[in-house]
Amino acid sequence: MIKIVTEPIHPLEILASVQDPTAGAIDIFIGTTRNHSHGKSVLALEYEAYSPMALKMMYRIADEARAKYGITKISIVHRIGRLEVGEASVVIAVSSAHRREAFEACRFAIDALKTAVPIWKKEFFPDGESWVNDQIKQN
């Protein structure tokens, strides 16, 4: 299941989407919205996507994860629009025959998503708002 949604994500539904009788492990990553950023309070967040390209990149990441780790199933779901603090913004679930591949593929998928999928987060502070540019500082 590869999706971009505007409604709340229910992690158990994503988990169910990768269940498989041949799998011995399921790993799930849930990215949640933090109430602070660089020492400032974050009141709410807003995600924007270039949806057709974002979906294309998400499908590609899923294909790469399958090819690289030989996993059974993978689902990647990202939410966009306005989110409150503490909500799930992204959920990635991976099933595989053995746990190591599920862990590694899950980490690969979230890391790849952050560097390749055109989605942006805006944080709303008590005194204003700004697009998140953390990626620049990491370089």
Partner 1 sequence: MITVKVKLFALACDLAGAETLSYVLPPGSPAGEILKLLSERNREFEKWKDHLRLAVNWEYVPNDYVLHEDDEVAVIPPLSGG
78 binds partner 1 (CB under 8 A): yes
Residues 91-120 close enough to bind partner 1 by CB under 8 A: 110, 113-120
Residue where the block lists tokens 């204003």: 128
9 binds partner 1 (CB under 8 A): no
Q: From the list 2, 49, 62, 65, which residue makes contact with partner 1 (rule: CB under 8 A)?
A: 49
- CA separation for the pair 42, 52 (Å, rounded): 29
65 binds partner 1 (CB under 8 A): no
Q: From the list 24, 52, 70, 81, which residue makes contact with partner 1 (rule: CB under 8 A)?
A: 52
Least distance in angstroms from the C-beta of 122 to partner 1: 7
Give the residue with the Cβ less far from partner 1, 12 or 50. Answer: 50
Among candidate residues 124, 110, 134, 131, the one with its CA nearest the CA of residue 30? 110
Based on the number of CB atoms within 10 Å of its own CB, is 65 exposed (0-12), middle (13-18) or buried (19 or more)? buried
Q: How many residues bind partner 1 (CB under 8 A)?
A: 29
